[in-house]
Amino acid sequence: MTPDAYRPRDSSIEFAADIDLLAGLWQEAPFARLPSDAPPEVKAAVQNVENPARVYAIHQASRRHGFQLLVERYIHQLRSGCDNVNCATPTCFTCRRRLAGKAPVRKYNTTSARTLAIYLASQDDPEKDLCSFLRKSPEPSAALNNLIFSARSPTQPHPDDKRTNAITSPGARKNRVSRPRLSSSSSQDSIPTARHAPHSSGGSTSHVQVMEGPVNKDHRSFAANLFGTVTFKMLEWLTPKSMAAMSDKLGNFEVSDLKTPMMDLDTLQESSSLTSTSTDLETQKILPHKPNAPKPTNMPNQSQDIDWDECPFPTMSPKSRHDSIHKSQNNASAKTRKHSIDTSDPVKGEDGTKAVKLPQINGHLRDKSLRTKNSKHVTVSTMSAIPTKREYFESTPKPPSDPTLPSLPLASQANAADLHDNQSKGCDEEDIVSPESNHSEVEFKAVPPQSCDSILPQALTKLDVDLVNFICDVYEEDDMSGSCHVSTYKTNYPYPQPVDERKSLRRHSMLHTTRSREQWLRFNEQALFYVLTDPQSVVLSFTQEHKLYDSQTLWYCFHRLCRVTSNLVFHSLWLAAARLFIPPQDLKSSSFSKRMNGRKPQKRVEALPDLEAGYLMSICMHALVAATPVVGDSRTLYELSRVRSNGLTLAGGSAISRQPSSRCLDYDDAFSNEVAARLARRLFCAITARRCFADRAHPAGRLEGLNDCDILQPLVNQLDFLSTGSASILEFPRDERLLHETRVPTVLLDWARTVLLNEWDGRAHFVMDGPFGGALSFIETLHRSRNLLLLGDVQFRVDYLSERLDFIEMPVEWLSFKSTRWRRHILDYPYIFSPETLVSFFRSINFARMSRMFEESSSLKTRMSAIVDPGSLITNPHHKMVLQDLLRTASSKYLVLEVGRENVARDAFDQLWRRERRELLRPLKVHLGENSGEEGFDSGGVQQEFFRLAIAECLDPGFGAFTVDERTRMAWFAPGSLTEDWKYELVGLLMSLALYNGLTLPVTFPRALYRKLLGNPVEELHHIADGWPDLASGLTTLLEWDEKNGLIEDIFARTYEFSVSSLGTIVTREMRADGSTVWPNAASSSTDIEPPHMNNSDDAPLVSNDNRDDYVIDYIRYLTDASIRRQYLAFERGFASCLDKKSLSLLCPSTLQSLVEGVQEIDIGELKRYARYVGWDTSHRTIKDFWSIVKRYDEGMKQRLLEFVTSSDRVPVGGMKNLQFVIQKNGEEDGTGGHLPTAYTCYGTLLLPEYRDKEVLRERLGMALQNAQGFGFA
């Protein structure tokens, strides 16, 4: 699960340095400020940033620093382990050694440990696998053991010095970071070179060369070569502990004119991640506070989890942006050479460690630190580093000639002009004091706020459409979109443009210099980071009058942002989404707080209200949609989505391979972006978390379906394009609007599928508090609103899962699985599987139950045979007979029915009445017509014939139990029928037996019956359209009638009643919403004093414009429920006799209808494709003539052919591929006569002789189909 951003951190790690780290970063970070050529609309939306944690450069550096420390701890855990002999952490060396016992255990080498540590530290919850017993290692990283330090003569110039002098200024030349010279031919690699700068102007420069010793590695291993590069080694070399160790080694090479060496790492530029201006911040180590130093009250998590608004770092008062700017006493003589970075002598701290004073810049310490509101003294922690080390970011340039202007770090040169302005506004030397040389506390004087406000970083207060367009235009004009962040797709891909013209913001200066580009790049990054990391700012940016932007405008804004800086956008939103996991204040359950946070945070973070949380969720979801490339039509989008549903990147040779590979790869690249995928995982985890908060806030439980407090409700409302709940900002063409209606839900489902495929562990059950459960909850929400969102059932499928599940064992295990709030089964979400897969699961469940019943009876039969055996202990024949009679029911292997053709239904009812459930669940065997001489052996075909005859007799309208529509030929319960309830129950039992044994029935029921059997409501007109098309058409006309053409009372003249014909009389009842009306039975005899039609209402109100909606709803309810409730309940009891109710939940109404009724449409071309031949081949003349004749058959003859061969005139669910249709050669016939074609219906085999010509074949085949009845042995 994505970890809570506010989870307390491990107490075994030194976190007090985080506060000092931010203080040091605030001192040296380059501040992004609005360039002077900005338009006035942008200037009006700018504010100063006072929280250092909200500065993007500081955030980047602190993240890298935290990552290095975490990698260092993991390496120590992997190589050395902890002190607990009972450690159970799998990645801890102590645990590995304990599990190995006396067997030898090999330690990871430095490269292997580094590889595993980087992987573990890169997870969503990086501290999850840390050993709780791990302690800080007193030794530096083992990677330093391979470094060789050697002195180099001062007379030898560095190979890069000549090049350095040619391109750098004298002031910045000494501290310049140069690229290392790595020789592949040498056994040693040159790493850094330390240069000792003298304190006197006449001193010479000496060098210390650092070489890397030979390393044994497998050059064929990709991982060994990748993680063995200098880039990854820097993660261990540049930790504070390693830097201190290298400083100690360099001390052995001190020369007489040096007090302390300074190391210049030439290899820093080898790491692409360490070449930015904020790289060296991670190399600084801040020692622990003194014992009397104040402890921080809240230990923030890693940098990505820091709460910007609740950071314990002291905040500024609005009146003082910078409390002071420091100035040290410059007592050096005029002849003394000025260095860009001066050093100070170390002093002893109270804890006995050496304390190094902060580096001074040309005698002036440029202080950007913050002080507390109640004190003018700031405690500055000592830094365990090389005293003459470089600044946090880059080397300091040569000081300017103006003595009143302090020199700035190279990365802060962009702010030089602003600082110069501050000097002229009052930041003079009187406001600057120098720290005392023998104290670790420095006293600062407050600087007037009007003089130093301009040196604070700046950012936008919020975003809107115009500002987003302006920022993206600046990125594109300066061609900076690809320099820092890699977009998820090509930036030249076309995207839709709004049709309404808006005033575009432009910069004043048309000449864009390199410095201007860098200034705008830093400001844009800072502005986006500042706004998108704060949930309130995000919601404020994309709402208008407390309404979310419309879906397409919101998508357009993020689509433009993702084209220029996608990773920054997704990372910032990931930080903002962490606030979704903060529970409301009223949830005070200690167990819940422990479950969510481990322990209560020391400082409470405000939770987001439900509405703001829903808005933030919708905004982040649209950002994910914007990450995908634009496609031109919905068909292409569907096909790309189907490819991903199968877990594929390219369609390959499948039927969905219409799209070119380049388009499939571009689409897959969007979902392969790890930063975007991380945001998706956090959002899906937040769905479960917020719903858990809602459940605990309302112990009575949530209502079924969505409610106003659900976190996804704003998203669903926004995707309802007919709703007025969103603020319409931009206008797009109609075609693009229609495409967008398809794009958003389809891409969101693809994101949910991506998380499912990436997080699935191969098991059918899962926990709900992870991204996998959250993704399924999201799919469930969209499935409930599929009609509103215009989504088809096929769009919810994840075929990749169905192909990797056990079709036999898994569905059976699901029957006994009990789903809870925290643990679910994958079959609880059947809509992600195809109907064919669900049918296989359903039949597997039935087959497992049938097999269990068969095995139990067979086992009992075997034991009973041993008892009644002549040699058994029971010798009394009467006792044996009584025992056999008592155990006959339990020991019968099959459910055997013996029926005649004359009274099929009666014989079946007589033998099924009061049967035990265990008997009904056994395999069915039918003996049909044996009393009249038929010799059918039941292997499936006899059963099919039996059900066809029995159901046809039961549904006969002449018996009065069912009615048949004259147009659709669909059967329905007769209202007020005289038929007893037990007969309806037996009809339901017949249908249940057929479905349980995998047989189709020649019945046609409306879809409403199957909805009722599955527990789905029948409320809409389309629910009854197939069974009563004329009625549905009339009610639709009533609902759509415009009273401009006449009043409804005058045109339709309908009363608020329900009328139905029952046994020759019209029964009418006024419809009431309270359901108090009970439908009467028909008059059963002449003794009935008051027949049902005598109570017809005479004063029912007319249907009008006000009540026509209620009239349609009530009419459907009376048609499908109130008038036939007694008959349906009896039928439902019989239908549930053989089927497990939970297994029926796998099926939707259409799938259940196909299972019961089969498919009535017969495609001869598909039948020919799946037909098999025995003794024939497809090129034979008789086979060609056979298909030529069959193709010209009408529907009736096609059904006769199918019934003749398979005993059923319906195609089974799944189509012809699930039908057994074999044509076997049955001799040769000469002349015009000969044998007729015959069939083995149990095996789906047609015995076809070879006739003389096509006409004889036509005549003999037609005669066989029209006169086929009865069974016998061929």
Looking at residue 493, the DSSP 8-state letter turns out to be S
The C-alpha atoms of residue 60 and residue 54 are separated, in whole angstroms, by 10
The C-alpha atoms of residue 877 and residue 1014 are separated, in whole angstroms, by 51
Q: At residue 1256, what are phi and psi to the nearest 5 degrees?
A: -65, -40
The C-alpha atoms of residue 222 and residue 96 are separated, in whole angstroms, by 26
Q: Which amino acid is at 101?
A: G
Looking at residue 1055, the DSSP 8-state letter turns out to be B
DSSP 3-state of 745: helix
The C-alpha atoms of residue 936 and residue 951 are separated, in whole angstroms, by 20
Residue 1030, exposed/middle/buried by CB under 10 A (0-12, 13-18, 19+)? exposed
Give residue 92's region: left, alpha or beta (phi > 0; psi -120 to 50). beta
Q: Please give the distance of CA 880 from its chain centroid, rounded to a whole number.
A: 65
**H-helix or E-strand containing 596?**
helix 590-597
According to DSSP, the residues that pair with 196 across neighbouring strands are 206
Helices (H), 240-323: 240-251
Q: Which two tokens stand for residue 205?
A: 């420069």
The C-alpha atoms of residue 961 and residue 971 are separated, in whole angstroms, by 10
DSSP 3-state of 322: coil
Contact yes or no for 32/522 (Cβ under 8 A): yes
The C-alpha atoms of residue 996 and residue 471 are separated, in whole angstroms, by 64
The angle subtended at Cα 1273 by Cα 1271 and Cα 1274, nearest 5°, is 110
Q: Which two tokens stand for residue 391?
A: 């600044």
Q: Return the half-sphere exposure (C-beta side, CA atoms, 13 A cut-off) of residue 320.
A: 21
Contact yes or no for 1123/975 (Cβ under 8 A): yes
Is the four-CA dihedral 667, 671, 674, 675 of positive or negative sign?
positive
Contact yes or no for 1059/1066 (Cβ under 8 A): yes
Q: How many residues does the chain have?
A: 1274
The angle subtended at Cα 442 by Cα 438 and Cα 447, nearest 5°, is 150
What contacts 825, CB < 8 A, 6 or more positions away?
A: 764, 765, 766, 814, 817, 819
The C-alpha atoms of residue 212 and residue 148 are separated, in whole angstroms, by 6
Beta strands 441-443 and 377-379, pairing class: antiparallel
The C-alpha atoms of residue 1094 and residue 1090 are separated, in whole angstroms, by 6
The C-alpha atoms of residue 1125 and residue 1117 are separated, in whole angstroms, by 11
Beta strands 924-928 and 895-899, pairing class: parallel
Query: Quick one: angle between helices 610-626 and 674-697, nearest 10?
Result: 160
**H-helix or E-strand containing 688?**
helix 674-697
Torsion of CA 715, 721, 722, 723, to 10 degrees: 30
Contact yes or no for 640/692 (Cβ under 8 A): no
The C-alpha atoms of residue 63 and residue 633 are separated, in whole angstroms, by 42
Whether 1242 is catalytic is yes
Nearest by Cα to 1069 from 1082, 1057, 1081, 1053: 1057
What contacts 398, CB < 8 A, 6 or more positions away?
A: 169, 170, 171, 172, 340, 407
The C-alpha atoms of residue 401 and residue 407 are separated, in whole angstroms, by 10
Contact yes or no for 1147/1139 (Cβ under 8 A): no
Annotated active-site positions, please? 1242
